[in-house]
Structure 1
Amino acid sequence: MIKSMTAFAGNEAEIGNLTLSCELRSVNHRYCDITFKLPDRLRFIESDLRAIIGAKIKRGKVECIINSKKQAKDGQELLINRDAVAALLEAASEIEQQMLAPLSFSALDVLAFPGIQQEPDNDREAMKRGITALVDQTLDQLLEVREREGAQLGELITERCLKMQGFVASAGKRMPEVLLNLRNKLKDRITELSAEPDFDRLEQELVFLAQKLDISEELDRLQTHIAEVLRVLLQKDPIGRRLDFLMQELNREANTLGSKSADKEMTQIAIELKVLIEQMREQVQNIE
């Protein structure tokens, strides 16, 4: 199953007295790189979430963002840390005694100070189960998007492979005509330059040029690599790195084919092959 490395998914859930939102974003990356943005109160679950995501995603840069906010409920009691309030007022009194013009502050100022308001105790295990379920649900949605986009990439790559097979077949059919045209040009040139042309020498030169311009090995390797790409696309395991290697091999053979080109049509075939390979290479960079 082909999977893209680019996707997004998001969900919300109510856990205890909190409303939690989870967002998962993934982009292409050489390895599996998972980062988290979590509230401090939820840091205890990071290692578990990393294991859950890492078990289902093998390549890609994944960012997991979890935000929390308190649920506004009628009759909800505001819990105050009275020891913290006493310590804060005592410290403020000592500081005011050293100030020339002490400034007054209100009860709301005190409430806004860190540590004054207490959070209601939440069942840590229940919180862990709820967050795990939320991330699992969001991860499944992310994987669906990756698979859907991966299927589209697979269709595009297959289409380009079939076009390449057509160009390779055209090059194979064209080569005998190229050699025939080259033979006629050399024969005409030698006839122009010599009253008694040495046609035996001409045949020797043609054999040498035919060996130099022979592209049968390049065409065979191109066909083999294209067939391997089509085979790899059907595998269930992550295939991105293997496809990337095959793109390098295809590009090498296309370059050699271009360097051996003996006429305009063969040069055009080599160019078309390189264009298709470059298009596939860009798409392969986004496959897991």
Structure 2
Amino acid sequence: MTRSMTAYASAETAGPTGTLSCELRTVNHRYLELSPRLPDDLRNSESALRERVAAKLSRGKVDLTVRLRGETRSETLDVDDALLGRLAELARTLEGRFPTMQVQFTELLRFPGVMRQADVDPEAVQAALFEALDHALDALTATREREGAKLAQLLRERLDAIERIVADVRGWMPQIREGLRARLETRLADLKQPVEPGRLEQELVLQVTRIDVDEELDRLATHIAEARRVLGLKEPIGRRLDFLMQEFNREANTLGSKSIDSRSTNAAVELKVLIEQMREQVQNIE
């Protein structure tokens, strides 16, 4: 599956302490690099979040931002009735000794331990966090796949163009060899000294060997077929395509270095343009 590494997605869900939101932004990177930003209360979930992201994504620089909003701690406060009762009993005991003593209700609430925050189930909080993250990851993956489909189409169009150039060069080679033979015959004819028998054929064989590009054309055809096969795989393909781009470029350079004809020279230049366009797109594929 061709997937882009550039995408954005967000999702949110209701948790026991408020609304949890997850925001994901990804750009291209050689490896998977996750940069999470979490509220302090959720720091203990970072390791599990990393594992969850790595299960869905294999490459890319990922910025993960988790926010917790709408938290209402007043709704989760409890009064320690037992402690409050002991304080009241103590106040009555001391009332005779300190008749002017007055204890305000608010002062009792400030006594350590009277007001306490109700316990929140950490598993429930983590479950809400994972739910938001999973929704965001699903949306992110869908976006990456849509963008990846567009990239795959661009690559296929350029592979078609490369294939046409390879076919053109194959068709020109017989004419290029004949032109080479004609030039050698002219040069030998211009020599004032006698030419050894078979000299033309020897020189022709040498020159034809130097400009022979059949092997390069065959390898280009093989790379085209392999690239098309890789584009149909259901797994991350970015690294494979990146390697293939290096191989394409190597053959195009060799083709240009062996050229003695303007047509094949222009073809080599056009090949390098197409390969560079593909390479730029491949850098963004997971």
TM over 0.5: yes
Change (3 A) 1:60 1:240: same
Q: Distance in 1 between matches of 2:197 and 2:10?
A: 77
SS at match of 1:122: coil
Report deviation, 1:180.
Answer: 0.9
Q: Distance in 1 between matches of 2:159 and 2:268?
A: 14
Q: Distance in 2 between matches of 1:170 and 1:229?
A: 20
Partner residue in 2 for 1:135: 133
Report deviation, 1:27.
Answer: 1.1
Report deviation, 1:194.
Answer: 2.7
Partner residue in 1 for 2:30: 30
Between 11-20 and 152-161, report the one with greater CA deviation.
Answer: 11-20
Q: Distance in 1 between matches of 2:270 and 2:51?
A: 45
Report deviation, 1:119.
Answer: 6.7
Change (3 A) 1:40 1:6: same
Q: Distance in 2 between matches of 1:264 and 1:118?
A: 86
Q: Distance in 2 between matches of 1:118 and 1:269?
A: 78
Report deviation, 1:185.
Answer: 1.7
Q: CA offsets per residue over residues 78-135 of structure 1, 9 Å max, x none?
A: 979xxxxxxxxxxxxxxxxxxxxxxxxxxxxxxxxxxxx9876533221111111010
Partner residue in 1 for 2:163: 165
Contact 2:13 2:131 in 1 (8 A): no
Aligned length: 250
SS at match of 2:25: strand
Change (3 A) 1:10 1:204: same
Q: Distance in 2 between matches of 1:220 and 1:239?
A: 23
Partner residue in 1 for 2:51: 51
Stretches of structure 2 lacking an aligned partner (at least 5 in a row):
79-114
Partner residue in 2 for 1:154: 152
Partner residue in 1 for 2:249: 251
Change (3 A) 1:78 1:287: closer
Partner residue in 2 for 1:277: 275
State the TM-score, normalized to the length of structure 2. 0.81
Equivalent positions of 1:85-234 (< 5 A) are: 121-194=119-192, 200-234=198-232
SS at match of 1:58: coil
Q: Distance in 1 between matches of 2:138 and 2:183?
A: 66
- Name the amino acid aligned to 1:68: L
Change (3 A) 1:118 1:173: farther
Contact 2:20 2:128 in 1 (8 A): no
Q: Distance in 2 between matches of 1:175 and 1:199?
A: 26
SS at match of 1:224: helix
- Name the amino acid aligned to 2:285: I
Contact 2:3 2:285 in 1 (8 A): yes
Between 132-141 and 26-35, report the one with greater CA deviation.
Answer: 26-35
Q: CA offsets per residue over residues 59-96 of structure 1, 9 Å max, x none?
A: 111111011223579xx56979xxxxxxxxxxxxxxxx
Structure with greater Cα Rg: 2
Stretches of structure 1 lacking an aligned partner (at least 5 in a row):
81-116
- Name the amino acid aligned to 1:26: T
Partner residue in 1 for 2:233: 235
